[in-house]
Structure 1
């Protein structure tokens, strides 16, 4: 336990130097020793440049001495890290600055709430306490006014309310009346005196002797050294009494004492649980260290932290909405470009694959004859079709007999190709009638003399007339035209797939071609990826049946896979080109965030002075960067979908990919995280004193 009369603050041989390295070192404080007890009202007085502000920064844990010892409630805080010092500022100190140091984009209520935000106080509680503090200080009708809408005296009262938000056990006031007129200055001094009377330790930094005379103890500093201290035996007795009273607050009478202070006109809020005095909080070393560890590690619920960070980030974005809009453009253009480019790439890929499907995608061809000139030529029969149908992953197998024939319609003779196929041709060849019907299994069984004409064969025979129901002669055998095939537009060598007639296999092979041996066998497989193993199994099955490999197997699917891979590569290339704009947008976010950190350096210092840890600053600026990316990602997604929809209306090949949309959106968020981290980290590592001194 700390002794009852033990000092709250002890400075021993404190020295502070600036410069060094390439610039000469300048010592501002020269071996300064100072003791301040709980409950004292001390004025530190000196002329400009005497070192009093530097001393205040060290006292308030905003800066560290170059050498010497700083003990707070008996604990050497020299080894405290940045977050531990932030906790101490939040729990023990309340700052009242000459320049007020209010955040210009926040109203009075939100400025006062700030220390409680970093203390993890629930929103309803801190809102109620901030309102009551401002009302007690005569600003109940100015809650939603921003600093530029308040007078100097009103701004200073807001800063006092902020200093008291977390209890304000020690009030550090740096020239609190320096920027005020005499009336406002008198009001502020009356408030500080009232706080001192209520048991707060008040440390007043001033160059004005009249202001300093309001304090109970005056410490004069000149050229970085204490030259006078008015502490007398009477003052010491007063300080001892105040210290003893503060220490007594750690007993069971603590609550009663603070409640009594509140009722006598103190600015403490009597409707809330009383806040223990310094001795109560910092009296026992174990309690002190445990409280500090808990405070440094403090995290509100993830939702509460995220909500607070999002609210602040949105407020900043809205306040600077024009600049935010310019920053958003990079993300919006990047996301929409990725979505549209991928959609066009996928649409084109699908269009190409659909076109290739008319020529056969999942198709394999088995042809008679060996690939080696030394091997005897072979034949394929209908029995081989049955063997192939039993191969795993074969969906359909169809005999194919082809030849050249003369077709006559009236007095028009046309030399064309005949394909004799089964009813499976519709699915295997992916070829359907544009008008009329395909032949049936019954036509196949009965050797029906029916046929379908390709588009060019129809044009040669009938011009633009409808051929369905008409009769033609095929090598002098009469056939009825029952349908016309869709246009394929495929040319293989000197053969045009649209210049052809289709007949049932039994009819064409026996009544026209006159040979039941097959020209080839068309095989449809269930999956394109199974083509290599199906090819191998067909070879094995037919070789076993023929006892020789007198045939060839050609994998049409391989060409399709190559084409698909090419299309995928092109689609990926389009996506990567579009993604460059996302990177450019991310660089824009980083640039804007770096400018924001520079512009808001003083705000960062204010937040640190009110207890923000490095992680709080880091989270805040990361949230702002990610919120920009989030809004840009949503807007870009909507814009990309809108552009794609318009392209669809103009018959452009567009297929939206859910995966692509999600990836583009995720990349936008990642862009905010990656490019926002460096500025956020820079903001979190700022020195509080340097940040507060920035313009």
Structure 2
């Protein structure tokens, strides 16, 4: 039987068809190289100079890391501070003007009109006395109001105080008092109905060492001050302006303090602090850009002959320029990504091991900081490689071949 008979000519013999295998397909790297030739050549060039490329990338990593860390920390601190002090920014404190004896019904009525629909008015009487408890005695500041919950803004304090006393946690600890205990003030005995948690309070007074009683327990008929808990910072400004218009038109009868202005100053301070920190961190990125420039310049000088050969065989100068710029961009992308991830991880680690809340770290502004630092790192790398790439691409091939 001939060779032809053993193959396809013999109808009794079936030769299996040859199926394409994975090895017959082009490799993934080859397909990517054909699709993105500049990127493939750039990666190959960088792999031949790993140490130099690694050092240049390290500069970008350090710069982006500094920007992300300082920027995110500054934003987190500002967010946490504003969250802690945000209640104060919504408060307006009205006190008698210099020489005034107190706030009477007329002043209280004007304040209620100004705050109508914008906040809660809390009239306060105040004084000082010695307070005795089960385990000791101490001097305390006394406040008289029927609305302790509106004044302090914490849970566990009654909305309306008819009888008994509300004691600050620091004073209660010193006196050995707890809910249900009895304290004695100037011969009068009061049952403790609540303990104020001073850590979560937003109030112009010191709640930790205070005792709140019903206003009827005070001899004075007038109020020493009025605290208005506004619904928002804008409402607080409107209430303050309204109180001044109603009560201080002809003469200065009351003193109005809006803590919104204090909060605005704090916000301005943190904005300046963040700008300073980012400027300092940005310097390190500029230094990294100089490092990229130096690396690219040395790379171009060492590869003049290679670039000359490419130009001589017909490679256009735009291809050379594109390849060198891709090399610089890859350094920026790698360093920027690594620096952003490390910076964010450090800030999260600081939050986990300190009292900085994680909610203050995971805010949209910090995401923009990380993305901005990454983009700035890539831009610095691109700018650093622009001149060396331009110089190499526009140099005549004859000059490049001469070295």
| TM-score scaled by length of structure 2 | 0.80
Measured in 2, the distance between the counterparts of 1:404 and 1:598 equals: 83
Measured in 2, the distance between the counterparts of 1:541 and 1:615 equals: 74
Counterpart for residue 336 of structure 1: 65
Kept after mapping to 2: 8 A contact 1:385/1:399: no
Q: Does 1:538 align with 2:261?
A: no
Q: Which of these residues, 542, 548, 568, is aligned with residue 271 of structure 2?
A: 568
Counterpart for residue 167 of structure 2: 453
Gap change, CA 1:525 and 1:488, over 3 Å in 2: same
Gap change, CA 1:411 and 1:583, over 3 Å in 2: closer
Range moving further from structure 2, 333-342 or 380-389: 380-389
Q: Which of these residues, 400, 414, 429, is aligned with residue 152 of structure 2?
A: 429
Q: Does 1:521 align with 2:226?
A: yes
Gap change, CA 1:605 and 1:426, over 3 Å in 2: farther
1:234-383 residue pairs with structure 2 within 5 A?
A: 307-357=36-86, 360-369=88-97, 379-381=103-105, 382-383=108-109
Gap change, CA 1:418 and 1:320, over 3 Å in 2: same
More strand by share: 1
Measured in 2, the distance between the counterparts of 1:588 and 1:624 equals: 14
Aligned residues: 366
Counterpart for residue 7 of structure 2: none
Counterpart for residue 183 of structure 2: 472
Measured in 1, the distance between the counterparts of 2:33 and 2:93 equals: 66
Gap change, CA 1:383 and 1:313, over 3 Å in 2: same
Measured in 1, the distance between the counterparts of 2:276 and 2:386 equals: 28
Deviation per residue, 1:24-83 (Å, 9 max, x gap): xxxxxxxxxxxxxxxxxxxxxxxxxxxxxxxxxxxxxxxxxxxxxxxxxxxxxxxxxxxx
Kept after mapping to 2: 8 A contact 1:405/1:415: yes
Measured in 2, the distance between the counterparts of 1:663 and 1:329 equals: 18
More helix by share: 2
Measured in 2, the distance between the counterparts of 1:351 and 1:599 equals: 52
Gap change, CA 1:323 and 1:548, over 3 Å in 2: same
Deviation at 1:618, TM superposition (A): 2.1
Q: Does 1:690 align with 2:389?
A: no
Kept after mapping to 1: 8 A contact 2:111/2:243: no
Q: Which of these residues, 368, 372, 377, is aligned with residue 668 of structure 1?
A: 377
Measured in 2, the distance between the counterparts of 1:667 and 1:419 equals: 55
Q: Which of these residues, 290, 308, 323, is aligned with residue 587 of structure 1?
A: 290
Gap change, CA 1:455 and 1:378, over 3 Å in 2: closer
SS of residue matched to 2:386: helix
SS of residue matched to 1:479: strand
RMSD: 3.3
SS of residue matched to 2:198: coil
Deviation at 1:642, TM superposition (A): 2.3
Counterpart for residue 439 of structure 1: 158
Deviation at 1:637, TM superposition (A): 1.3
1:23-102 residue pairs with structure 2 within 5 A?
A: none
SS of residue matched to 1:361: helix
Deviation at 1:585, TM superposition (A): 1.0
Deviation at 1:319, TM superposition (A): 2.6
Deviation at 1:307, TM superposition (A): 2.8
Kept after mapping to 1: 8 A contact 2:129/2:140: yes
Measured in 1, the distance between the counterparts of 2:140 and 2:173 equals: 12
Deviation per residue, 1:643-678 (Å, 9 max, x gap): 223323322637251111111111111112222211
Measured in 1, the distance between the counterparts of 2:113 and 2:168 equals: 31
Counterpart for residue 113 of structure 2: 387
Gap change, CA 1:631 and 1:377, over 3 Å in 2: same
Q: Does 1:499 align with 2:228?
A: no
Deviation at 1:612, TM superposition (A): 3.1
Kept after mapping to 1: 8 A contact 2:63/2:282: yes
Deviation at 1:329, TM superposition (A): 0.4
Counterpart for residue 483 of structure 1: 194
Kept after mapping to 2: 8 A contact 1:582/1:671: yes
Kept after mapping to 1: 8 A contact 2:61/2:339: yes
SS of residue matched to 1:618: helix
Kept after mapping to 2: 8 A contact 1:339/1:661: yes
Deviation per residue, 1:209-255 (Å, 9 max, x gap): xxxxxxxxxxxxxxxxxxxxxxxxxxxxxxxxxxxxxxxxxxxxxxx
SS of residue matched to 1:439: coil
Deviation at 1:613, TM superposition (A): 3.0
Counterpart for residue 12 of structure 2: none
Measured in 2, the distance between the counterparts of 1:310 and 1:625 equals: 11
Query: Runs of 5+ in structure 1 lacking a partner?
Result: 1-130, 132-143, 145-302
